[in-house]
Structure 1
Amino acid sequence: MTPLLGHTAMVLHFSFLCFVVFGGFLAWRRPRLFWVHLGVAAYALGIVIVDWPCFLTEIENWSRSETGRAVMEDGFIDFYLTGTLYPREHLLTSRLVMAGIVALSWAGVGWTCLRRRSRERSGV
C-alpha cells in the first residue's frame, strides 16, 4: 500500500504542475476556473519563492523512506525534471517560460471575457 501511495502522490504532483502551467487555458472555456487556477498558481509560487512545504512531497518522501528508496532532498521538480526535462543551469529560464505561459493564458482569459461581454451587450 505504501508504494501505491507514493506513486499516487507522484502522479498528482505531475498533474498539479501541468495545471499550474496550462490550467489558465482551461479558463478560456470555463472562466470560473480562473479563480481556482489563480489560487493554485499562488500556492505554487509560494512553494518556489517562500519555500512553503508541499504536502505531496511529504507524502511521497514518507513512502520512499518506508520502502527503502532515496527521498527527494530538493523537492519534486529538482528530483524529476531538473536535469531531465531541461539542463540544471536553465532552471531560471524554465521558470520564466512557465511564468510566461501562465501570463499568456491569463491574458487570454481576460480577452475571452471581454469578447463575451461585448457580444452580450451587442445582442449577438
Structure 2
Amino acid sequence: MTDLIAARSVFALHLAFLGFVVFGGLLVAWRPRQWVWLHLPALVWGVWIVASHGLCPLTLLENSLLEHAGVAGYDDGFIDHYLVPLLYPPGLTASVQTLLACLLVLWNLGLYAIGWRRRRG
C-alpha cells in the first residue's frame, strides 16, 4: 500500500512539474528575476525529454513503485501514457511531437519577452 501511495505521489509531482514547464513562463512574465532561474532549467529539461522522445526519471520511479505495489506499470512516457489519449489526436507522430516541443519553446520565449519588457520598463 505504501508503494502505491508513493507512486501516486510521484504521479502528482510529475503532473505539477509538467504544468510548471508549460505554464511557468507566466510566472516569469510576472516576476522575471524570481522565476527565470527555476523555470528555464525545467523548460530545457521538458523540451529535451519531449524532443528526444526520452523517458523522464520520474516515469521510471513511478513504474518501479507501481511494480512494487503489484500494479502494472507502463512502457511509454508519462505524457504518452496519461496525456496523449486526452489531449492529442490518434496517430501522433514523432515529427508532430517535435513540433509540439518547438511550440512550447516559442510560447515560453514570448512570455520571457514580456517579462523582460516589464523588467526594463
**Range class of TM-score, shorter chain:** 0.7 to 0.9
Q: CA RMSD for the aligned pairs? A: 2.0
Q: Distance in 2 between matches of 1:74 and 1:21?
A: 20
Q: Distance in 2 between matches of 1:6 and 1:69?
A: 10
Q: Distance in 1 between matches of 2:54 and 2:87?
A: 23
User: Which runs of 5 or more residues in structure 2 are unaligned?
Assistant: none
Q: Distance in 2 between matches of 1:17 and 1:6?
A: 16
The one of 110, 113, 117 equivalent to 2:116 is 110
Could you list the per-position Cα deviations for residues 28-74 of structure 1 after superposition, in whole angstroms to 9, with x for gaps in the alignment? 23222112111111111222234555221121001111122222211
More helix by share: 2
Aligned length: 115
TM-score, length-scaled by structure 1: 0.79
Q: Distance in 2 between matches of 1:56 and 1:14?
A: 10
Q: Distance in 2 between matches of 1:80 and 1:95?
A: 17
TM-score, length-scaled by structure 2: 0.80
Q: Distance in 1 between matches of 2:60 and 2:80?
A: 15
| Preserved CA contact (<8 Å) 2:32 2:116 | no
C-alpha displacement at 1:17, in angstroms?
0.6
User: Which runs of 5 or more residues in structure 1 are unaligned?
Assistant: 116-124
- 1:16 aligned onto 2:17: yes
> Highest Rg: 1 or 2?
1
Where does 1:1-124 land on structure 2 (aligned, <5 Å)?
1-32=2-33, 33-50=35-52, 53-90=55-92, 91-92=96-97, 94-115=100-121
